[in-house]
Chain A
Amino acid sequence: MIDLVKNIQETKKKINSLDFDAHWYRRVFHAFGAAFLFYYMLPDVNWINIIKFWVPLIIIIIAITLEVLRLKGKISGDHFFGLRMYEQNRIGSYLFFAVAILILLMFFPQQIAIPCILCACLADPIMGELRYRFGKREVYIVGFLLCLLIFVVTWYKADIGLILLVAIVGAFGAVIGETKKFWWLDDDFMIQMVPAILVIIIWIAIPHLGFSYPEPIIYPGIMPGWL
Chain B
Amino acid sequence: MNDQKMQYVKNINNNKKLIRTEIILTPLLVIAPIIISLLLIFDWFTRDFLTNELDLFGELMLGIIIIIVNIMFDIPFIKSLRQLSRKK
Which residues of A line the B interface, CB within 8 A? 15-25, 27-32, 34-35, 37-38, 41, 76-88, 114, 118, 121-122, 125-126, 150, 153-154, 156-157, 181, 215, 217-219, 221
Contact = CB atoms under 8 A, between A and B. Distances in A.
Contacts of A32: 28-29, 32-33, 70
Nearest to A16: B16
Give chain A's interface secondary structure class: helix
A45 to B, nearest CB: 17
B1 A25 contact: no
Interface residues of B, number: 53
Contact of B22 (A16, A81, A114): A81
Contact of A18 (B19, B54, B57, B65): B19
Given A17-B86, A41-B39, A86-B5, A156 B16 contact: no
Contacts of A21: 80
17 contacts: A18-B87, A19-B84, A20-B15, A20-B22, A22-B22, A28-B73, A31-B73, A34-B36, A37-B36, A79-B17, A79-B18, A81-B19, A83-B9, A85-B5, A156-B57, A217-B59, A219-B54
